[in-house]
Amino acid sequence: MKMKANTKLVLTTIVVIAVAVLVSIFALSSWQTPTQQTTATYTATTETTPTPTTIQLSGMINGAGATFLNPQMQAWASKFYELTGGRIQVNYQSIGSGAGQAKFREGVLDFAGSDPPLKADIYNEFKDKGGIIQFPVVIGTIVIVHNIPTVESGKLKLTGEVVAKIYLGEIIYWDDPEIKALNPELNLPHEKIIAVHRSDGSGTTRVFTAYLAKVSKDWKDKVGSDFTVAWPVDQLGNGVGGKGNEGVAAAVKQNLYSIGYVETAYAYEVGLKVALIQNRDGNYVLPTREAVESAAKTLVTVLPRAYEDWSHIFPDETVDAPGKESYPITSFSFVILRQVYDDPVKVAILKEFFQWVLTEGQKDENIVKGYEPLPPEVSMVGLEGLKLLRTT
Amino acid sequence: MKSGRIFYTILFFFVFTSLLIVVGVVTSLTVTSYPIFSRDGLSFIFKSTWNPVKEDYSILPALLGTLITSAIAISISTPLAISLAVFSIEIVPSKFRAFINNISDLMASLPSVIYGLWGLYVLAPILHQYVMMPLHHYLGFIPLFSTKPIPTNLFTAGVLLAIMIIPFASSVIREAYNAVPYYLKEAAYSLGMTKWEAIKTMLGYIKSAIFAGIFLALGRAMGETMAVAMVVGNTFTFPKSLFDMGYTISSLIANQFPNAEAYNYMIPALYGGAFILFIVGLAINLAGLYWIKKVMIKS
Amino acid sequence: MLGVISSLAIISAIPIFAIIINIYSEGARHLTLNFLIDLPPPPVSGKSGGIGPALVGSLILTLLAVAIGGSIGFFTGLYLSEFSHTRLAHYTQIFLQIMVEFPTIIIGLFAYMVLVAPLKRFNALAGAFALSIVIIPYIALNVREAYRSIPYTLKEAAFSLGVSAPIAYLRILLSTARRGVLTALLIGMAKAAGETAPLLLTILGTTFTYFGGLDQPINAIPLLIYNFALSPYERWHQVAWGAAAVLLTITLMIFIISRLVVREVKV
């Protein structure tokens, strides 16, 4: 008898939990229902009113892609959610630039975020399907970090060529003559350099290797630039892979005498030691606001239109920008949209959100530390591009 | 009678559904990985490059990483799993037996992402400081320990896997031990054996079950993804010592998948890795089932 | 020698305690009602936030997965137990055994091919489908054990009553095997709640939406842990630890319920 009672107790518990969960599901989903009703009203009026801002449209758009863009995009989405009183939900998830582009191609996303622009073959594929719009939304920089206990942050000077040689496995010790020549005042130890790199495919690696390929012919010929590459330094056993920025930062912290590259936002958050890097004009720079703006200004001269193919320009042509103050490993983060969507509500939401991102969103209070806002000329590319959005 | 027929039809329907799903998964695996095998053939398995720029892929280092971490996991977990099983049956007062078994079962049901978090932040630094550094310092002349270790490497992954698979091996052994006929145990003691000698005899008697338990645990170790990806070091190099960083096939998949679609052959290559893992898993399972069968025939 | 065995056994049980203590010492202070229902925070400014959408998503996905995977797994397990001599049962069992050890990310891709790509949208149903594939083998193999452990005499007695097969299996014998079956379902539930990899390719994740329908993206706790733990922001790390504590609590609750079920065997 006791057995039976116990079973019943357990079963009842489970049933109660299940019911509670179901009830809460329905409660929550009914929160969302008004959303869809307004959606319908909007659809009816969209043909007659070209300016959607006067109408309280609402709904959700789904985007995904670059991990690098994620913190900034979350900050924007969150602010926009607040500003619109929860009307517009911009859902962005970090799945990687490559996956973002591929899923965008397969049509399962409303927009993609990516560090490099859309690949040429995908761009061409969309030509017959109404075309695409791509534009920069924020500037990102990558810093070289190190873990030499005797050297403070912002003191070590490096050139792109030396960094390339370290990752090629040609410079092995910190007291190598080439590094010493750049840093006569520093006391560099005779220790092996552990070269930390990303183990997962990443837009950060794409930009970093584009920079190395631009400044070192050896790197260009032997390794090249991509989301992941075959790191020559690994073959010597001096390379370490870290998954994500987190993994690279952890590996740099755990390994004395290591070097690594991370997104600037990350270096600040984790408190890694940053190295100065020589720009094309021969000056040693850090990714300060001025250095990034200077680099971005020179990028402006090569900007295509939003509906054009950008793949041959970014990031291979634009890294190592000229300019006295320019920070060399500077690149844009892109948002990619289709020109044509079935749902007029989606078009309106995409327009409203990205217009905000390119104007209000570029103000200092909306930019996360470690990112830099776009110069107005660059924002214009996106603002012009958004005019091409339309429904079938 | 009619309801019986309907019942059997429903039964068949569900069995076919699950078989269909398995077949579907395996088919998707085969179809997706086909391009890499048709392009590279067996050199896909026996080279050691992973160079997306040149679309040149092969998985030998990751395969070795899987074998090495699993071997470490098995050699550590086997004595522990046997001890845990014997301890819960023979040594601990029967009051606590259920408690011990509960602990073991709880270990089996923790999500692997939690093992991974813990492995990265707690286990790896401890192993580095108290196990790997001393081993390297005093026994560094042995090739196995020759690399100067950093916290995340094949060894750490192996130890974490060992912790994760103990409960699986242990529960198989426990069941087999409990199934040994009582008269055998009595006979052992009546021969004047000590408790330890009796345990030894019993363990000898269930040798096959122990093997079966180990084989099943081995399968788990080879397929584990999330936890391993967090502690294995994730570099594509030919492993030369236990303290080298590396990849396992499943952690390679987890690491490379996000941007794999930017390439033409990386997805097939990753699936090719999974396909080989599937074949190895199949072999191990057939071996495991063979041992289990032997046990059943015996008892 | 017995001492050696005892100490080895104790060593093997240390990690589980260490894990529970570590996770709770990092994450327990987040276990407030607000943390359970709030939206996740932006990376820097604003309020501390919570895991509301992920928690709701995990509950929905887990229940759906158990409903789908549980029914398929249960009948498959019943078949494997009662028709173990057939070729179909033999092969099904081998395949299920392998599925248990399969990298689950591959199952995610299968679900993507079947349910995401055709619908042109990441969706909750695909996630639940992937999770149910993950748990089918666990449930089937455990249900098989449950039915196999019924003494042969009892089975004979059940059928000699002259009742039909469904009544014999689903009423009379199920009442004997119910603890094993319930345990099987709970094991599946725990597994579904903690699985990450298959969700990466199916549900996308959401930031502001708790539940927008089965054909829409949804979030889940393990996915949130994975995303936030690899981010640069301390505040997101805190959310990840808190989410890990919530996930551990859910696992422990399921586990304790399943132990209460099993305990009856010993009464």
Tens-place pLDDT, residues B202-241 = 898 888 888 888 888 898 898 888 889 888 877 888 888 9
- The dihedral region occupied by A351, where left means phi > 0, alpha psi between -120 and 50, and beta the remainder, is alpha
Query: Which residues touch B94 (CB under 8 Å, ≥6 apart)?
Result: none
Nearest beta carbon to residue C113 from set B28, B199, B282: B28
Q: How far apart are CA A335 and CA A170, in angstroms?
A: 38
The pTM of the full predicted model, rounded to 2 decimals, is 0.85
Q: Could you tell me if A276 and A288 are in contact, meaning their C-beta atoms sit under 8 angstroms apart?
A: no
Q: What average pLDDT does the segment C63-79 reach?
A: 95
For residues B50 and B55, give the distance between their C-alpha atoms in angstroms, rounded to a whole number: 8
pLDDT higher than threshold 70 for residue B52: yes
pLDDT value at position B179?
A: 84
CA-nearest residue of chain B to A225?
Answer: B53
Q: Give me the mean pLDDT over the A129-140 stretch.
A: 94
| pLDDT higher than threshold 60 for residue C16 | yes
Q: ipTM score here? A: 0.85
Q: Does A199 touch chain C (CB under 8 A)?
A: no
Q: Tokens for A39?
A: 């959606």
How does residue A20 score in pLDDT terms, banded at 50, 70 and 90?
A: low
A208-249 pLDDT tens trace: 999 999 999 999 999 999 888 999 998 887 888 887 777 888
Q: How far is C38 from chain B (nearest CA, A)?
A: 22
Q: What angle do CA B32, B33, B36 make, to 5 degrees?
A: 130
pLDDT value for B298: 58
* Domain ranges, residue B250: 2-298
Does A1 have pLDDT greater than 50? Answer: no
Whether A32 sits inside 8 A of C211 (CB atoms) is yes
- Encode pLDDT of B188-200 as tens digits: 888 888 888 989 8
Residue A58, pLDDT score: 86
Among A42-56, A183-197, C174-188, which is the least confidently predicted range?
Answer: A42-56
Distance to chain C for A113, nearest Cα, Å: 14
3-state helix, strand, coil in chain C (%, to 5): 75, 0, 25
Q: Which domains does chain C have, with CATH numbers?
A: 49-261 (1.10.3720.10)
Residue B172 is predicted with a pLDDT of 85
Residue A157: pLDDT band (50, 70, 90) is: very high
pLDDT the model gives residue B80: 96
Q: Which residues contact B279 (CB under 8 A, 6 or more apart)?
A: none
pLDDT given at position A40: 36
How many separate domains does chain B show?
1
Q: What percentage of chain B has pLDDT greater than the value 90?
A: 36
Instruction: Give the pLDDT confidence score for residue A49 in this predicted structure.
Output: 39
Domains of chain A: 59-140+302-315+331-391 (3.40.190.10), 142-293 (3.40.190.10)
Using DSSP, state whether B198 is helix, strand or coil: helix
pLDDT tens profile A362-377: 999 999 988 999 999 8
Take residue A209 and report the two structure tokens written for it: 């290797």
Tokens 């079938």 belong to: A392
In tens, the pLDDT along B147-171 reads 888 788 899 999 999 999 999 899 8
Mean pLDDT of C198-225: 92
Contact B196 C76 (CB under 8 A): no
Would you state the structure tokens that stand for residue B147, as one six-digit string?
């690399």
pLDDT of residue A206 exceeding 50, the answer is yes
Kindly report the CATH number assigned to the domain that includes residue B206.
1.10.3720.10
Residues of C in Cβ contact (< 8 Å) with B166: 12
Cβ neighbours of B163 in C, within 8 Å? 12, 15
- Contact yes or no for B262 and A97 at CB 8 A: yes
CB pair distance less than 8 Å for A98 and B255: no
Give the list of residues 6+ apart from residue A286 with CB closer than 8 angstroms, or none: A143, A154, A274, A276, A327
**Nearest one of A159, A183, A141 to A290, comparing CA atoms:** A141
pLDDT for A89: 93
Nearest CB to B261; choose among A67, A102, A241: A102
Axis-axis angle for helices B207-223, B249-260 (nearest 10): 20
Chain B positions in Cβ-Cβ contact with residue A68 (cut-off 8 Å): none
Tell me if B248 sits within 8 A of B69, measured CB to CB: yes
| Distance between CA atoms of residues B247 and A305, nearest Å | 42
Q: Which of A99-103, A146-150, A262-266, B286-290 has the highest mean pLDDT?
A: A146-150
Q: How far apart are CA B277 and CA B273, in angstroms?
A: 6
Range B102-110 average pLDDT: 87
- pLDDT, one tens digit per residue, over B40-51 is 999 999 988 888
Distance of CA C65 to the CA centre of its chain: 8
Mean pLDDT of all residues in B52-79: 93
For position A41, what pLDDT does the model report?
36
- Distance linking the first and last C-alpha atoms of chain B: 37
Using CA atoms, how far apart are residues C180 and B53, in angstroms rounded to an integer? 52
- Portion of chain A with pLDDT greater than 70, in percent: 86
Interface contact A86-C208, CB threshold 8 A: yes
pLDDT exceeds 70 at position A25: no
